[in-house]
Chains A and B, each alone.
Chain A
Amino acid sequence: MAEEMRRNLMELMKSTDDVLGIIVTDRDGVPILKVAEEEAPELGLRPTFISTFNIATDQAGKLGMGRNSRMVCVYGRYQVVHFNHLPMVVTVIASSVANTGQLLALDSQMAPLLASLTNVVDV
């Protein structure tokens, strides 16, 4: 089943232009499921990077607009989109020229997969 989920995620990654990696982790950045192209920045796949979203989303939730659900970070060569599905976090790494709207739309496409993974993460 894990292999099937990984294949599913891989298909999703390959079907969207310029996506370099998709990682499903817990809130501490520990990977649950990961798919990445060779061109994906290695530092961006590490728990030390992914876990910073946890702090950022907590702070963003204090701005008086409710819970932070998604975050887009655009860098020079890459862009990173985080989805808050606590206790899980989904991180999508793509090229900076990728269509950000399509990356955001991946959230709904991953919903069935995330529903299956919810039981994996201890609350």
Chain B
Amino acid sequence: MEKPLEKCLDEIAHSTGVSGVLCADHKGLCLGVRGKASNASSGTVAALAERVAMLEPGSLDPVILLESDNSQCLIHRNSGITLAVYKSPETS
């Protein structure tokens, strides 16, 4: 049942510049994780997506970019599923 999701996470994780992927459900539980992403972050990622969506009620869920000195994290929620993609700086 989870094979399509696993395949999708594998494809994203093998994309250029991607160092990690995390997928969380609407309750903040981890559906899948690859690379440097940690399943312990699933709750925070889902909570962030929910909070940021409140900035513009009624609009489509935004894409969140978290940037640090050595990496980026892109977070987007769609239909209750939140995806976080960790990227390394050389391809940002």
Contacts and interface: CB of A to CB of B under 8 A. Distances in A.
Contacts of B43: 99-105
A17 B40 CA distance: 17
Binding site secondary structure of chain B: helix
B40 A99 contact: no
Interface stretch (B5-13, B25-33, B59-67): B25-33
Instruction: Output the residue of A99, A100, A101, A102 with the most chain B CB within 10 A.
Output: A101
A114 B42 CA distance: 23
A100 to B, nearest CB: 4
A116 interface: no
B40 A100 contact: no
B85 interface: no
A66 B82 CA distance: 30
A17 B27 CA distance: 13
Nearest to A17: B47
A17 B28 CA distance: 13
B44 interface: yes
B46 interface: yes
A101 B47 CA distance: 9
Given A100-B29, A101-B24, A104-B43, 10 more contacts: A99-B27, A100-B43, A101-B27, A101-B28, A101-B30, A101-B47, A102-B46, A104-B40, A105-B43, A105-B44
